[in-house]
Amino acid sequence: MEPVVRSIAERLAEGRPLTEQEYQTLIEQREGELTAFLREQAVSRRRAIYGNAVFVRGLIEISNICKNDCLYCGIRKSNGQCSRYRLSEQEILACTEEGYALGFRTFVLQGGEDPFFTDAVLEKLIGQIKRRHPDCAVTLSLGERSRESYERLFAAGADRYLLRHETAEEGHYRRLHPEALSYQNRMNCLKTLQEIGYQVGCGFMVGSPFQTAAHLAKDLKFVETFSPDMCGIGPFVPHQETPFAAFPAGSAELTCFLLSVIRLIKPNILLPATTALGTVHPRGREMGIEAGANVVMPNLSPVSVRKKYELYDHKICTGEESAQCKDCLQARMRSIGYEIAVDRGDIKK
């Protein structure tokens, strides 16, 4: 390792904030020795806080209907090839029932920005889940909404909200999104969620079109200053029916490197080894955990709709039953010396 790089890495490992330029240097100068050093530091910091526990979140993909048109996303409204669905309240409750029996204590309701899911519809749904499973956390991942809406859903019992910022560079944000979406609004939503009292997750894609090391450095600075409870990162994977069909996928290697850096920026953060990471590499999720992640999100959606929630090509876990996904992940985690925890998996403060 270059002495300059070593000094930056050591400061990061000691929990000191870096400048954007320093984050960029780490990304640009990364090689075997730096990667291994940060990985070992990240794993040891995580072990001191969470031991060998990996938290699970049961992901329920409630609707692939979306009014937005993000250029990277397979369920964008312009994709006429996408066969649309929306789960009923009964179907969603059946998923949570099954998930509860399998040991899940967190449910993530994720979907496109589907106008059917008004505040009133969601309040009722969240109330039902909380009544049946008072010991479970409910996480929402339903995109941009108004402050009033976020407040109502919080009051109805939602505990957490995932809203990836996608990129912390405004010009880059514009190249990934249609005119109707703005970086400012996305950032305002994240701030609002935090103010209301949600445990908040931000996140970004790795290797998205036009992304540079300087952009990623901004993402890292944002994670440092915003201090989210969670951060979802995964490689960009092209979808054939989008304008970005011909762009290459992001790498598992860079994603894992960034997982280690984020773990060191905020040692107690909840960091998923994502499905996208498992899609670009057969051992992607194991590699993510070994780089510093501590969460996995098996799919609890009905098998009949899984293939339709195709954000990107070749998404894994679209044919397996929920119990199979859970067993599969349990075996994968055990194979690398970790245990799945039956618990809400709140952040340790």
**Which of these ranges, 35-43, 172-180, 233-241, 294-302, lies near ligand 5AD under the rule CB under 6 A?**
233-241
Give residue number: closest CB to ligand FES. Answer: 328
Q: Does 8 bind ligand FES (CB under 6 A)?
A: no
Tell me the per-residue interface mask from 193 to 212 with ligand 5AD, x by CB under 6 A, - otherwise. Answer: ------------x-------
Q: Does 272 bind ligand FES (CB under 6 A)?
A: no
If the CB atoms of residues 104 and 150 are measured against ligand FES, the closer one turns out to be: 104
Tokens of 166: 């996608």
Q: Does 311 bind ligand 5AD (CB under 6 A)?
A: yes
Q: Which of 166, 169, 219, 310 binds ligand 5AD (CB under 6 A)?
A: 166
Q: Does 315 bind ligand 5AD (CB under 6 A)?
A: no
CA 147 to chain centre: 22
Q: Does 325 bind ligand FES (CB under 6 A)?
A: yes
Asked if 213 contacts 28 with a C-beta cutoff of 8 angstroms, the reply is yes
Q: Does 71 bind ligand FES (CB under 6 A)?
A: no
User: Taking CB within 5 to 8 Å according to partner kind, which of ligand 5AD, ligand FES, none is near residue 23?
Assistant: none
Tell me the per-residue interface mask from 284 to 313 with ligand FES, x by CB under 6 A, - otherwise. Answer: --------------x---------------
Q: Does 168 bind ligand 5AD (CB under 6 A)?
A: no
Q: Does 98 bind ligand FES (CB under 6 A)?
A: no
Q: Where are the alpha helices (DSSP H) in the chain?
A: 3-13, 20-28, 32-50, 89-101, 119-132, 147-155, 170-176, 183-196, 213-226, 252-265, 275-280, 284-291, 303-306, 322-335
Q: Which of 186, 183, 129 is nearest to 156 (CA)?
A: 129
Q: Does 114 bind ligand 5AD (CB under 6 A)?
A: no
Asked if 291 contacts 73 with a C-beta cutoff of 8 angstroms, the reply is no
**Which of these ranges, 93-101, 207-215, 223-231, 325-333, lies near ligand FES under the rule CB under 6 A?**
325-333
The Cα-based distances of 119 to 95, 154, 230, 232 in angstroms read 21, 11, 24, 25
Residues whose CB is less than 8 angstroms from the CB of residue 60 and which lie 6 or more positions away in sequence, other chains included: 87, 92, 95, 96, 99, 107, 108, 109, 110, 300, 301
Residue count of the chain, please give it.
349
User: Taking CB within 5 to 8 Å according to partner kind, which of ligand 5AD, ligand FES, none is near residue 236?
Assistant: ligand 5AD
If the CB atoms of residues 267 and 278 are measured against ligand 5AD, the closer one turns out to be: 278
Three-class SS of 278-308: HHHCCCHHHHHHHHCCCEECCECCCHHHHCC
Q: Which residues bind ligand FES (CB under 6 A)?
A: 298, 317, 320, 324-325, 328-329
Q: Return residues touching ligand 5AD (CB under 6 A).
A: 72-73, 164, 166, 205, 234, 236-237, 239, 276, 311-312
